[in-house]
Amino acid sequence: MVTARYYERKNLQAMQDDLIAMVYHDLRSPLTNVVSSLDMLRSMLPGGEDTAINSLLEIADHSTQRMQRLVSSLLRYP
């Protein structure tokens, strides 16, 4: 026999799944935009002559990669 407690747990699990999906999307979408913007900026800059700019872009790349790994490991959403 299915109890009210079963339905309550099932409902809570569905709410948790929805929340995880929403957080995953809300974190990943802006991060993807940053990565794309960095790629575009890099392609617009002349031949990589300015080492200061290249250094800043490298730092931004490493930071976004780290953030992507953190989001993926925290949420573990398929």
What does the pLDDT read at residue 1?
66
Kindly state the tokens that stand for 65: 């990669």
pLDDT in tens, 21-53: 888 788 888 899 999 999 998 888 876 678 888
CA distance 48 to 42: 8
pLDDT of residue 42: 86
Percent of the chain with pLDDT over 70: 91
pTM recorded for the entire structure? 0.66
Question: What is the C-alpha to C-alpha distance for residues 7 and 2, in angstroms, rounded to an integer?
Answer: 8
